[in-house]
A and B are shown apart, each in its own frame.
Chain A
Amino acid sequence: MNVTGRVFKYGDNVDTDVIIPARYLNIQDKKELSEHAMEDIDKDFVKQVQKGDIMVARRNFGCGSSREHAPMVIKESGVGCVIADTFARIFFRNAINIGLPILECPDAAEHINAGDQVSVDFDTGEIKDLTTGKTFQAQPFPEFMQKIIRANGLVGYINAE
């Protein structure tokens, strides 16, 4: 599976409070909720994001609250993949569980720039920056997590078990 899109780039410790502020957590509708994605650090994100775009950030992406609303709004907004140096552990679980593709690749996270066109091959973990021509290799997920990902998240995995 592949995804190609334009990069939105962020720094270290992007927390779930800025990904989706708690003042909106009373909203159940995913689409309505996703209209507020990233608004406390990037007001233009929602206006500019297109299906398949890629989010690139540095260390500890998704730290803070356990709210699954965070990976949910990123997925709902159309983002095809999040690449970071590291993910906070609850965000990591949540992303796998709801089927939001994520990759840990410090090299890519450091060298990819905002606005670059990037293509990701989930089968091989290869990340290509089409703007700069650079190629990066992400660590593949353990087999168990790949099963969850292939089942489109934890619910599909449990039902199949």
Chain B
Amino acid sequence: MGMTMTQKILAAHAGLESVEAGQLIEASLDLVLGNDITTPVAINVMGGIDKKSVFDRDKIALVMDHFIPNKDIKSAENCKLCREFAVKHEITNYFDVGKMGIEHALLPESGLTVAGDCIIGADSHTCTYGALGAFSTGVGSTDMAAGMATGKAWFKVPSAIRFNLIGKPGKWISGKDVILHIIGKIGVDGALYKSMEFVGEGIQYLSMDDRFTIANMAIEAGGKNGIFPVDEAAVTYMKEHGSRPYTVYEADPDAVYDEEITIDLSQLKSTVSFPHLPSNTKTIPEIGEKIPVNQAVIGSCTNGRISDLRAAAEIIRGKKIADNVRCIVIPATQKIYLKALEEGLIKDFIEAGAAVSTPTCGPCLGGYMGILAAGERCISTTNRNFVGRMGHVDSEVYLASPAVAAASAVAGYITDPEGL
């Protein structure tokens, strides 16, 4: 029986000729990732593991990104623990303030994730690297600890849903609209335990940044991973950013899928997830009323990349953020920040009345830097709109693309660039 792209990567990393859905395997890992929230827990867990050393100091990445620059004493203690661990084990890829970025933007940009890799990360959005044709999935701190010690992880081989993307998307339609549309269609557990494998001629119209956004939110449909074929754009990206060799895996022609869903990108409209689930989607034309917002957040591991900032700046340039709106722009990495500065985007944001922050996950998870009060509403390019996600339990988060968030920040209510 043929294998899916994900199954082929897993088989290769388990040293097996073939695997099938449901099979339990132990796979070798190319990278183990943790952040400043999950790594301290993993360090404590490692204390209980007999093997005290790490399996490969070059294959562990520790990224301080959630509560940094540290928001309080407890966060500072956590980062200190990570820093000391990194020094003790001579971890090559330790990223701290000034050199860091949001993990899922930073690692591909640093060439640490390439096609064919098998990656676990103690962060649910680790599935992002599927955009490059890697198998990568989120785990918890105990898996991270075990991975750091042994270089291995257990997996149940997933079955897959095949998403056939066709057509060319409209000017303002981004990867975010594609993935919100898909989550709206299949639900927050529509791909539970499964791979989301994206194929089709429509992929050529999606930039790498669009693909990172789509793979990033596979978890929001319950998926184990999201994965794209390795085309010229992916190879170019890896050559520009990477030094590691990569391996291209392709699904077998006779691979079996649980389901095939065709998405015509040319038919998509700007899409917004209403509170309190990412699957609660409406297109801008379907909203039909003016929903005022108090805050707009443009950033995160989902949408803090350079093309996201360019899209937002194109809309905001020469305009003013609405009086009653706080607009917060967070470039996802230092490199993106610098590029945005060089391209004049930061000037556009500041002149319009937006705040620009150093890279951090910050408000996305209600950590700091943009917490909402009771009754407040935020349009956000982040990935979750659960109850209390960005602050008070009575606040609301609406998920959208950078173009929609920027247009809404200028209008003062939820709209897309066409509506300005």
The chain A residues found within 8 Å of chain B, CB to CB, are: 13, 15, 17-18, 21-23, 25-28, 40-41, 59-60, 63-69, 71-72, 86, 88-90, 93-94, 97-98, 142, 144-145, 153-155, 158-159
- Give the residue name and chain of the A residue nearest to B142 (CB): A97
| B window 139-186: CB within 8 A of A | 139-143, 145-146, 149-150, 154
B38 contacts A66, C-beta separation under 8 Å:
yes
- Give the residue name and chain of the A residue nearest to B149 (CB): A158
Q: Which residues of A contact B192 (CB under 8 A)?
A: 60, 86, 88-89
Q: Which residues of A contact B143 (CB under 8 A)?
A: 93-94, 97, 154
B366 contacts A21, C-beta separation under 8 Å:
yes
Min CB distance B337 to A, Å, is 23
**Cα–Cα, bound, A22→B366 (Å):** 6
Q: Which residues of B contact A159 (CB under 8 A)?
A: 48-50
**Cα–Cα, bound, A69→B48 (Å):** 17
Q: Which residues of B contact A153 (CB under 8 A)?
A: 142
Given A25-B67, A97-B140, 9 other A-B residues pairs in contact with their CB atoms under 8 A: A17-B366, A28-B77, A60-B188, A60-B192, A68-B141, A93-B140, A93-B143, A98-B140, A155-B146
| B window 331-354: CB within 8 A of A | none
- Give the residue name and chain of the B residue nearest to A25 (CB): B37
A17 contacts B145, C-beta separation under 8 Å:
no
Report B65-87 CB contacts with A as 1/0, cut-off 8 Å. 01100011011011000000000
A67 contacts B189, C-beta separation under 8 Å:
no
B122 contacts A66, C-beta separation under 8 Å:
yes
- Give the residue name and chain of the A residue nearest to B384 (CB): A64
Is B124 in contact with chain A by the CB < 8 A criterion? yes
Is B10 in contact with chain A by the CB < 8 A criterion? no
Q: Which residues of A contact B138 (CB under 8 A)?
A: 66, 90
A65 contacts B124, C-beta separation under 8 Å:
yes
Q: Which residues of A contact B78 (CB under 8 A)?
A: 26, 28
Is B417 in contact with chain A by the CB < 8 A criterion? no
B41 contacts A89, C-beta separation under 8 Å:
no
Q: How many residues on the B side are at the interface (Cβ–Cβ under 8 A)?
A: 52
Is B21 in contact with chain A by the CB < 8 A criterion? no
B124 contacts A23, C-beta separation under 8 Å:
no
A155 contacts B145, C-beta separation under 8 Å:
yes
Is B54 in contact with chain A by the CB < 8 A criterion? no
Contact check: which of A21, A40, A89 meets B193 at CB < 8 Å?
A89
Q: Which residues of B contact A86 (CB under 8 A)?
A: 189, 192
Q: Interface segment, B197-205, B373-381, B387-395?
A: B387-395
| B window 352-387: CB within 8 A of A | 365-367, 384, 386-387
Q: Which residues of B contact A13 (CB under 8 A)?
A: 188-189, 277
Is B91 in contact with chain A by the CB < 8 A criterion? no
Q: Which residues of A contact B146 (CB under 8 A)?
A: 97, 154-155, 158
A154 contacts B366, C-beta separation under 8 Å:
no
| B window 37-72: CB within 8 A of A | 37-38, 40-41, 44-45, 48-51, 66-67, 71-72
14 examples of A-B residue contacts, CB within 8 angstroms? A15-B386, A17-B384, A17-B389, A22-B365, A23-B367, A27-B74, A28-B40, A60-B189, A68-B122, A97-B142, A97-B143, A144-B154, A158-B51, A159-B48
Min CB distance A21 to B, Å, is 6
Q: Which residues of B contact A21 (CB under 8 A)?
A: 366, 388
A67 contacts B140, C-beta separation under 8 Å:
yes
Min CB distance B210 to A, Å, is 23
Contact check: which of A63, A66, A71, A144 meets B189 at CB < 8 Å?
A63
Min CB distance A143 to B, Å, is 9
B41 contacts A63, C-beta separation under 8 Å:
no
Q: Which residues of B contact A71 (CB under 8 A)?
A: 140
Min CB distance A104 to B, Å, is 11
B142 contacts A142, C-beta separation under 8 Å:
no
Q: Which residues of A contact B365 (CB under 8 A)?
A: 17, 22, 65
A158 contacts B140, C-beta separation under 8 Å:
no
**Cα–Cα, bound, A159→B393 (Å):** 42
B75 contacts A26, C-beta separation under 8 Å:
yes
User: 10 closest A-B pairs (Cβ-Cβ)?
Assistant: A94-B140, A68-B140, A26-B74, A60-B189, A97-B142, A22-B365, A66-B124, A68-B141, A66-B138, A40-B388
Is B222 in contact with chain A by the CB < 8 A criterion? yes
Min CB distance A150 to B, Å, is 15
B388 contacts A68, C-beta separation under 8 Å:
no
Q: Which residues of B contact A64 (CB under 8 A)?
A: 124, 219, 384, 386
**Cα–Cα, bound, A13→B40 (Å):** 27
Q: Which residues of B contact A68 (CB under 8 A)?
A: 38, 41, 122, 140-142
- Give the residue name and chain of the A residue nearest to B24 (CB): A144
A158 contacts B189, C-beta separation under 8 Å:
no
Q: Which residues of B contact A67 (CB under 8 A)?
A: 37-38, 140
